[in-house]
Amino acid sequence: RARRTATMTTLEDVVEGKDYNFPTEEQATLKYWKDTDAFREQLKRSEGRPEYVFYDGPPFATGLPHYGHILAGTIKDVVTRFACSTGHHVTRRFGWDCHGLPVEYEIDKKLEIKGKDDVMKMGIDVYNEECRSIVMRYSKEWEKTVTRTGRWIDFDNDYKTLDPTFMESVWWVFKTLWEKDLVYKGFKVMPYSTACNTPLSNFEAGLDYRDVSDPAVTVAFPIVGCELGASLVAWTTTPWTLPSNLALCVNPTFSYVYVKNPDGAVYVVAEARLSALPGATKKAKGGKPGALADGWAVVKKVVGEELRDVKYEPIFDFFAEEMRSTAFRVCVDSYVTDDSGTGIVHQAPAYGEDDNRVCLAHGIVVKGGALPDPVDVNGCFTDPVPAPFAGQHVKEADKDLIAAIKASGRLVDNARIVHSYPFCWRSHTPLIYKAVGSFFVKVESIKEKLLANNAKTRWVPSYVQEKRFHNWLEGAHDWSISRNRYWGTPIPVWASEDGEEVRVIGSIAELEEATGAKVTDIHRHFIDHLTIPDSRGPEFPPLRRVEDVFDCWFESGSMPYAQQHYPFENKDKFEKEIFPANFIAEGLDQTRGWFYTLMVLSTALFDKPAFTNLVCNGLVLAGDGKKMSKSLKNYPDPNEILDKYGADALRLYLINSPVVRAEPLRFKEEGVFSVLKDLFLPWYNAYRFLVQNVRRVENETGVAFNPRAPGQEPVNVLDRWIASSTSSLVTFVRTEMEGYRLYTVVPRLVSFIGQLTNVYVRYNRSRLKGKNGDDDTRRALAALYDVLLVLCKTMAPFTPFFAENMYQNLKRCLPDGGDSEPSVHFTSFPQPKQGALDERVEKSVARMQAVIETGRVIRERNNKPLKTPLRRLVVAHDDADFLSDLQGELRAYVVEELNVLEMETCLDPLKYATIKAEPNFAALGKRLGKAMGAVGKAVKGMSVADVQLFQRTGAFAVGDVTLGPEDILVKKEFALPEGVTAEEMDAATGEGEVMVIMDIVVDQGLLDSGSAREFVNRLQKLRKSSGLQATDAVEVFFEVKAAGEKDAAEGMMRMLESEKAYLRESLGCDPKPIAAMAGDARVVATGECSLSTGAEFVATLAALKI
């Protein structure tokens, strides 16, 4: 061993846990990373390794990052750090979503823009440059927060969807789809945002559903030429669509009735929906349809098919003349249901997907023909709808429309209904459904390929892939990818005025060649004026670009190609190395967003999934279970949490929660604090204990601590146990991380740290302090050092700051730097230590812990505090190896922790217990049904021999029913030995079927032993409060206070004499009366103390004379 010299390094001292400020230390680590350019250094060191490909979904920089972003960013950081530590090079580029409604909406608010006319007056160039000016508004705040959370990602080499290179690749994607005949221009009824003047895709419409109260009106449509003077009755929650009514629809198989009310009016409704007519039926009982009310009578009954083509009078005459030849008649279709309304559905083909389909099928309207649509882009009524409705927003016009219907005598009922309704995810205004022209991707034609490619990927958790995403793909419609907006990638389609010639441009070079103009930017205001000559000749007007821009979801779905400027650059590298991605991660809401668009475009382009592994997280909610809201201020600011508790605590809180299993998390600040208190502080204290004792050993011996020195292999059972447990942990973490199961990894890490601090350090405290001599101490310190170093490397992806801080000190012990790297994040993920795995010792120590925990339970319920020794402990179990270990190397730990004088073992638990069997009703109930009674009776009647045989074989037969280990619960019940009372002995069974029996009678000798422990405890507290270190030797003096109880004082003096050996070993000296202290002694500390016996004394600590 080398003598410590002035130049030899050792562990730096560290502060107490209560003084360790996690946020402050993290700031110091951030500075170290910045000063050493640690992230780029890691990338440089890993060059040449296999590439691990990660795609980062682009957020908008027009808003600030919230907990959802921090959560997803943490998951991404954990996985990519782990990939780097397992032999990969991991490029991590941040991305920005710069186009689309989120940006435009901010400018519309700022400039008070109400619609297209305002934009045209201003000029698209001015409008777009306003948009450009804010797209990176909060980019520095994003960079600050993301960096503060410990995430390593490249902001300097980021990608932006507004970059010409990115936009050019988006053009290539579109042109490729066009050439594959996977794009078409059509009209379709789609969700439409009147606030943003644009249609939304189906998945966007599903992002924000809210419960709202809407009018629910029932309206009469008089049948033309009906002898009964009957009216068809329809029900709708969108009165604003009634001015465009062109047809009614019934189910061809339903029974419909003509029913007369007491006033003589005759209405036609589905028989099953008579209750929809006010007053038509009596109150129903037990959920059954009520009988007709008095005065009401059915005068005719027909099936729906018989109502086909029956004509009726339109509710409004706005389109009566132009549509009378084909419209205002009854259609039949099976989409009509009888679970609500009247069984007759009003049809407005411009405002309903089914309405449009049904009216086309029945010739009410024709494809490409006139489609009554008196609603403008802002959602307001226009010609031919007259005042007072004209100019009103459709939702605001409902009230006036209902009044007009009532005035015409056609209103049968006017009510309200609370139902779930889609809102615009950006403007938070109600959507309407409206027929619009759009470019569509033919998703339906590649549905089978989408399903097949989804099956090739791995999602965590898997149910999101197998159910939610699979079902979404199953029901997927053609995807509308164009928006009649301004700030986005323009759709590269140039068309002639007559529509006969269309040209799709796939690159900037192609546009320059076609137009003869130099192009530097391809936003609308740079290219809308460019024309392409018509190939039919100069007599034809030139081709002009269509107005639309791409939906921003099309851009984000194109990011695998566009961030690489594929295929214009990086073509070979892209195709061979970086597509598809190994890993992506975002929130559950992206199943209908980014995950979907990635899958659609990669399938359409390459018939491959864009990714192979996906981690999907749930939503982070406020503590009350509601959505986090800035206006409600129902959640703490993320930056405040980071400044108060640190990033590591927040990271571990988030990824050790249900949210990593795609379930919701109610964010609670106290949860972050609990992580700090219950995990980080115990971990830190174990590390500090190592540092203290390494420094003590070096100071005492003058020999440097070398954890790699020969002859320090683990011999002690707990050294071998912690080494084995560490190897098991490393194997487990690697396996689970390779399966992307973060939700299993963190609980195991938390459990391991608990074992390290509560078992290894706690039980070995005296060894680590030098109780058994220098050789054993160094073995113990080497064992603890190895565990902490491996734990640093294992936890580095999860807690990058704390692992780095600890590693920077630990690596100082390695001889001449040894195999240490400058940063823990440059090190390889640990390998299981050769030969360290020992299943027997892990199992025996786990059972030993069960013995100790069970013994504590027995003490507690019998009011026997741990400071009071008990005479005897018996451990009963049928595993001879375990009992042998318990009586051997583990004995001292059990005896000390449970404070017992004797410990015995028993191989036959039935010496102290009876066993009986109980049926597991939870497992058997559904399976056995009526046979449960007989089987349960047989199980309860099992003899001891039957139960023991079942324990050995795992099977028990009752007639033709064979029961297995999960079907029968075997219970042990303590049986007092003959002649022993419950006041003298108690027992309990812990985990692993370990039975613990304890003598609980306490005599005077035992009480004195307990008092001695108390006496030592009081002096140790006095040492600590006076600032003494473990290595500081002192003399101990006492003075019994006269004011105390006489019996208690005498008892204390008796204890000091009878427990002299224990006190000398624990205190390092014999306690002496104060009168024995020399007059010139240097007093270090004095304190008043008391024992639970009532004895009171003054303790004095004096420095040893040299």
Give catalytic status of residue 1024 as yes or no: no
Phi, psi (5° rounding) for residue 252?
A: -65, -20
Listed in order, strand segments (DSSP E) in 932-1029 are 956-958, 961-963, 968-974, 985-990, 994-999
Q: How does DSSP assign 165-197, residue by residue?
A: HHHHHHHHHHHHHHHTT-EEEEEEEEEEETTTT
What distance in Å separates the CA atoms of residue 997 and residue 988, rounded to the nearest whole number? 7
What distance in Å separates the CA atoms of residue 686 and residue 1106, rounded to the nearest whole number? 33
Catalytic residue among 590, 692, 808, 849: 590
Give catalytic status of residue 467 as yes or no: no
Catalytic residue among 42, 58, 392, 548: 58
**How many contiguous H segments (helices) and E segments (strands) does the chain have?**
40, 37
Give catalytic status of residue 553 as yes or no: yes
Q: How does DSSP assign 639-697, residue by residue?
A: HHHHHHH-HHHHHHHHHTSGGGGT--EE--HHHHHHHIIIIIHHHHHHHHHHHHHHHHH
Catalytic residue among 594, 609, 719, 832: 594
The set of long-range contacts for 861-864, using a CB threshold of 8 Å and a minimum separation of 24, is 861/986, 862/986, 862/1000, 864/1000, 864/1002
What distance in Å separates the CA atoms of residue 1102 and residue 627, rounded to the nearest whole number? 62
What distance in Å separates the CA atoms of residue 152 and residue 165, rounded to the nearest whole number? 25
1007 CB burial (10 A radius; 0-12, 13-18, 19+)? middle
The order of strands in the sheet holding 247-250 is: 329-332, 247-250, 344-347
Q: How many residues does the chain have?
A: 1106
Q: Which amino acid is at 662?
A: A
Catalytic residue among 31, 301, 630, 1060: 630
**Bridge-based pairing state of the strands 479-480 and 620-621:** unpaired
Catalytic residue among 56, 77, 97, 986: 97
Give catalytic status of residue 627 as yes or no: yes
Give catalytic status of residue 630 as yes or no: yes
Catalytic residue among 296, 487, 553, 721: 553
User: Which two structure tokens, joined as six digits, stand for 1070?
Assistant: 């014999």
What distance in Å separates the CA atoms of residue 861 and residue 679, rounded to the nearest whole number? 28
What is the distance, to the nearest Å, from the Cα of residue 223 to the centroid of all Cα atoms in its chain?
Answer: 57
Could you tell me which of 686, 796, 784 has the C-alpha nearest to residue 733?
796
The one-character DSSP state at 490 is: B
Catalytic residue among 627, 911, 937, 1060: 627
Give catalytic status of residue 398 as yes or no: no
What distance in Å separates the CA atoms of residue 703 and residue 189, rounded to the nearest whole number? 83
**Three-state SS for 116?**
helix
Taken in order 1048, 1054, 1059, 1060, the sign of the CA dihedral is: positive
B/e letters for 840-858, b = 16+ CB within 10 Å, e = fewer, are ebbbbbbbbbbbbbbbbeb
Give catalytic status of residue 887 as yes or no: no
Could you tell me which of 476, 409, 411, 448 has the C-alpha nearest to residue 239?
411
H/E stretch holding 25 reads helix 22-36
What distance in Å separates the CA atoms of residue 897 and residue 681, rounded to the nearest whole number? 22
Which amino acids are annotated catalytic? 58, 97, 553, 590, 594, 627, 630
